[in-house]
Structure 1
Amino acid sequence: MATMNISLPDELKQFVDQQVAEGAYGSSSEYLRELIRQSQREKAAAFLRQLIAEGLASGPAEPVTKGTFQQMRKELRERMMREAG
C-alpha cells in the first residue's frame, strides 16, 4: 500500500478528526479512502448516465440477428484490408 501525506487547514482536520471520533471511521486514512471510493462511484455513475443518454439519443433500437454479426465481421475485414494496404 502506498503512503500519501496531505496538508489540511485546521478546520478540515478538525472535521476529519470529528468523523473518526464519532465512530464512523477507524482512522483518518479510512475516512479519506471512503471519500475517494465515493468519488469513484459517482464518476462511474455519471459515465453510465452519459452512455444511457447517448443510447437514448441514438434513435430507435434495431433487432440483433445472426446477419448483424455477419455484417459486422464483413465491415471489420474490409476495414482491416483498407488499413493494411
Structure 2
Amino acid sequence: MATMNISLPDDMRSAVDKQTEARGYGTSSEYVRDLIRRDLDRQALRALLDEGRRSAQDEPITDNTIQALRDRAVRATGQAG
C-alpha cells in the first residue's frame, strides 16, 4: 500500500478525528479510505445512470430491472453485497 501525506487545516483535521472516533474507525486513514471508496461508488453509479439516461428503454422498469442495475453497479465497483 502506498503512503500519501495530506495537509489539512486544523478545523478539518479536528472533524476527521471526531468522525474517526464517532464512526468506529481504527485510524483516520481508514476513515479517509472509506470516504474515497464511497465517492468512487457514487461516480460509478452516476456513470451507470448517465448511460441509462442515454439509452432507449423499450420495456417497462420492473423490480428485476432495478435489481439488475444494482448488480451492475456492484460489479462496476468491484465490491460484493
Q: Normalising by structure 1, what TM-score?
A: 0.63
Distance 1:60 1:34 in 2: 38
SS of aligned partner of 1:15? helix
Q: Are 2:39 and 1:39 aligned?
A: yes
Amino acid at match of 1:49: L
Which runs of 5 or more structure 2 residues have no equivalent in the other structure? 60-81
Deviation at 1:24, TM superposition (A): 2.4
Counterpart for residue 48 of structure 2 = 48
User: RMSD between aligned alpha carbons?
Assistant: 1.7
Amino acid at match of 1:13: R
Distance 1:29 1:60 in 2: 46
Which runs of 5 or more structure 1 residues have no equivalent in the other structure? 62-85
Distance 1:60 1:33 in 2: 40
SS of aligned partner of 2:55? helix
Q: Which runs of 4+ in 1 moved over 6 A?
A: none
Counterpart for residue 11 of structure 1 = 11
Q: How many residue pairs get matched?
A: 59
